[in-house]
């Protein structure tokens, strides 16, 4: 098994109600305060954020896909972020601690793999974030964590022969 994190590499200004700081795509690295999005206002939406394509050369099968974010919230009781995703139902993210940067998967630890019919679906996956709650939420990074199996020995041997290494 292998794991790769595919970070945001594209921002389409379909909805731009949050405050954007820095350069697009904003959520491609943990680099606060250089590139972030944040809002104080309940209900505002921001996005669409898309991720680096999954194109690992020697993968046999994808076994897991989950959306992660790096977020800070001023309140853990009512504040949360809803991720409106292009494939399937929304995801909800809530901080466990006030004013602490945390990296975490959505509240339901949702497996996204079943939402993709093929690799093209995965590579066009996008997210729009909506803020829920009364106090400020800041997002610094988003990424897809993809777990996959690596091609077996015969597949690797065939690839080496094909490319004449």
- If one compares 2 and 164, the residue with the highest pLDDT of the two is 2
Q: Is the peptide bond before 33 cis (omega within 30 degrees of 0)?
A: yes
Least confident of 20-24, 73-77, 106-110, 159-163: 159-163
> Which pLDDT score, from 0 to 100, does residue 71 have?
93
pLDDT in tens, 26-46: 999 999 999 999 999 999 999
Banded pLDDT at 153 (limits 50, 70, 90)? low
Bin 88: left if φ > 0, else alpha if -120 < ψ < 50, else beta. left
- Provide the 10 A C-beta neighbour count for residue 114: 9
In this prediction, residues 103-107 reach a mean pLDDT of 90
For the record, the structure tokens of 77 come out as: 């009781």
Q: Is the pTM above the cut of 0.85?
A: yes
Cβ atoms of residues 150 and 108 within 8 Å:
no
pLDDT in tens, 58-74: 788 899 999 999 999 88
What do you get for the CA distance between the two ends of the chain, in Å?
24
CATH classification of the domain holding 6: 2.60.120.260
Domain that holds residue 144: 2-162
> Which pLDDT score, from 0 to 100, does residue 25 have?
97
Number of domains making up the chain = 1
In this prediction, residues 41-54 reach a mean pLDDT of 94
């Amino acid at each position: 098994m292998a794991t790769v994190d595919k970070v945001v590499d594209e921002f389409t200004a379909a909805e731009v109600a949050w405050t954007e700081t820095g350069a697009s795509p904003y959520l491609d690295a943990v680099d606060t305060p250089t590139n972030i999005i944040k809002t104080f206002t309940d209900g505002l939406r921001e996005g669409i954020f898309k991720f680096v394509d999954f194109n690992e050369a020697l993968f046999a099968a994808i076994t897991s896909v989950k959306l992660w974010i790096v977020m800070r919230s001023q309140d853990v009781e009512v504040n949360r972020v809803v991720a409106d995703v292009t494939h399937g139902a929304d995801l909800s993210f809530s901080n466990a601690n006030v004013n602490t940067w945390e990296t975490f998967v959505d509240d339901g630890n949702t497996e996204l793999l079943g939402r993709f019919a093929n690799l093209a679906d995965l590579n066009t996956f996008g997210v729009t974030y909506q803020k829920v709650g009364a106090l400020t939420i800041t997002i610094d990074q988003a990424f897809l964590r993809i777990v996959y199996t690596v091609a077996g020995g015969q597949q690797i041997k065939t690839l080496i022969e094909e490319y004449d290494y």
